[in-house]
Structure 1
Amino acid sequence: MTGQEQAAKALAGQIEKLAAGREIKIMHVCGTHEYTITKSGIRSLLPANVKVVMGPGCPVCVTPQSEIDACVELAEQGKIICTYGDLLRVPGTKSSLYDTVGDIRIVQSIAQAVDIARQTPDREVVFMAVGFETTAPTTAAVLLSNPPENFSIIVSHRLVPPAMKWLMQQGEANLNGFLLPGHVCTVMGIHEYEAFPVPQVIAGFDAMEVLYGLYLLVKQIVEGRAVVENAYARAVKPEGNLKAQKMMAEVFEPCDIMWRGFPVIPDSGYKLKPQFEKYDALKKFGIELKDVKCTTGCLCNELLRGVKEPTDCKLFGKACTPLKPVGACMVSTEGACRIWYTYGKAHKIVQTTPTSP
């Protein structure tokens, strides 16, 4: 047994002692946390009365069918669609981008999509700007740099705190606390979360960092405290990244937006300010997002709200696999179904090194 394995089991033992006689349910809202928790086997170390579920922490997973449909429609019109690879197989109403006949290009960044627009001035290039507060600053920075006229975006950025607020108001998942996403908090800081009267801990992404974050969270719950603890202080400052926030405020303003698995959540998304609307692909090409009911037959909606697990779904690993996904949570590498399919529900604690945001 390695030193890290011994330390992990000791910390899990402390969690078990603290939680004795209680039923505790914790939600994290970060796909990377789910990856670490599952691959490292953290759930296998926790007592049965301490449950950790994944919420809407995968930006690709919460992208609704209507936005996929808009991308498909633009591709069929002959536009060059640039997107991240994770988004290709996400199902829309009738098709995914992968199954669409069109010029679909995988890019690593929005800057690469702008380069494609400059290299093909006779074509319209549309970038699918997906992501939480972590990726929104890069979108803002590009739009502030005066990209070419044949470049536009579908704004698919979403904000974590409003989704957490909605989950707490509904109460269907019976949550006792939240493990907060270190990436998002690196950009936005901690102040938005201080308004929530529930235990919260910001955690890093190494297995021991996640386990320590869960320990602090269980300790808060047992002691009856409800504060925001920062266990990722090497990356997260209370005020966040002020430069990134300033750029976002210049380009975006909050708006009501739909999430896959959720209704429209107030002020949970971004839209472009009037001076940047010329880069709004939906307005530029007259595309309307249609409110469609998800009828895939999978349990992604419940999974994203923390009320189901991947293995509760009858399609998991059978009709729904990474190569033939039925639901969005099986597509992205940050989706719980994809992670559970790849690594199983429990793995041994592995030697890992801390990651940087």
Structure 2
Amino acid sequence: MKKNFLQTMKHSAVPNYIFFVLLGLVFVSFQLMSNAGSDIFGVSLMRGVGTFMIATIVALGLYVLLGLGGLASLGTAGFVGLGAYLTGYLIDETNIPFFTVLLICIAVGIVIGIIVGFLSLRVSGMYLAIITLGLSEIFVQLFKNLTQFTDFPDGGIRLSKYPSLFFGLIQMDRETYRSTILIIIAIAFVMLLALAFNISRSPIGRSMLAMKNSESAAQSNGVNLLSYRLLAFIVSTVFAMIGGFLYMNYWRFTGPLEWSIMYSLQILAIVIIGGTKSIWGFLTGAFFIFGLNEIVFAKIPFFINNPTVVPMINGLIMILVVLYYPGGISQLYIELGYKIRNKPKGFIPFWKSVGLDFINFFKKSGLWFVALYRRFIAIFSKKEG
């Protein structure tokens, strides 16, 4: 186990890591241009970027747990909420340094991961998902009822202090706080993205996949199920706690209603839409669920006036992906990569081949919508008759 963990750093793919760093630098440059007064990179866009990065960090933990380990969880929201509440209380009520609070959140995440990991030895599948959902609901009820530790009667908590960094060397104020926190989020985003990618390509990731495909076969090949179940849950809960820590520092307020099962389902949707075979598909899934609304639709008047349309679009995207690409958008990227590696000779034949794939996809989607429309018409006609 220890040898496998050390080997995770040997299975690197330098071009991917360079892309991760460049992506983080792009987000940081957005914030710098926003600070310079750019109209394009306004406050709403930067809030969308911050939300996207935090949600991606949280979903990376579920990617390791579900995508690699095959272990279901609906408790993500409660774990993120616990990280947010713990951060808000420690920063406001104690003099604990900023990064020490982060270490405390990580330690709590490890403890919770171990507890849930041991529970997973007795149950699996939807029963395990229900147990994690129950834990999440326990946390939400604690957020609502432990009002002596919160700032509002409904259980809401806010940050009133601006913490300093590196033992007071960097003192944040109202003007510099949000941009500084976004840079910290971007650094965490790049590091955790690289770590999750590294795990997926390492012996640890392959052992988790073996456990996911067949526990008995994995055991016969020497895979310690207890160790890898514990590790999968620890990674998931630690990433969730880090996400809660970053969320609280970025938004400076949270309440119990934000950590309902809906948030857990949104994180789960990222993994379903993105798929688990490609980190690029995973990032695309995160963009569809969190980035599309916050970064793109928030600028379009129609979607501003009709906010209920956005969840409908996300739902339709999920339906189409599950119908035609069960492996998620990752499957589409893998197929495109195969075509690029085995492309027909000449520029036009290659793009003609790729274009036909997209035409077929939209053709199938259109036929599905027509069939669904006809089905609804038939049902309503029977009712009227």
Calculate the TM-score normalised by the size of structure 1.
0.30
Looking at secondary structure, tell me which structure has more helix per residue: 2
Higher strand share: 1
Question: TM-score, with normalisation over the residues of structure 2?
Answer: 0.29
Bigger-Rg structure (1/2): 2
